[in-house]
Homo-oligomer: A and B are copies of this chain.
Amino acid sequence: MILWVLYDVAEDRARGRVARHCKQAGLYRVQYSVFLGEVTADERDALRLEIEDLIDPDHDKVYLFTLTRKELKQAILLGQAFDRKLVTAQVRELFL
């Protein structure tokens, strides 16, 4: 499954850790606080638990969406939603 992780985390250290855990789960950065990649349901669930431990539930916001490849291609990213400088070939390949 394809997983999008979008987050709004106030505290710098926590935000850095969330990004690190997303990378360790094999996701690719799409924007400063947006990651994307293919994971198993178990990997998604493990990442969820890790992120839950890192964030301040009273202030921070995190969205984890699973999409099919077809839906990924229908995803609409406007403006700077997709930072070309950050996006690797692997991510572009997911969209083609």
Q: Are B79 and A64 in contact (CB under 8 A)?
A: no
Q: CA of A76 to CA of B52 in the docked complex: distance in angstroms? A: 11
Interface size class of A (residues with CB under 8 A): 20 to 34
Cβ contact within 8 Å between B65 and A80: no
Counting every copy of the chain, the complex holds: 2
| Nearest CB of chain B from residue A24's CB, rounded to whole Å | 18
Cβ of A59 within 8 Å of any chain B Cβ, yes or no, is: yes
Q: Which residues of B contact A81 (CB under 8 A)?
A: 61-63
A27 within 8 A of B: no
Contact B71 A55 (CB under 8 A): no
Cα distance, A35 to B74, chains bound together (Å)? 17
Q: Are B79 and A75 interface neighbours, CB within 8 A?
A: no
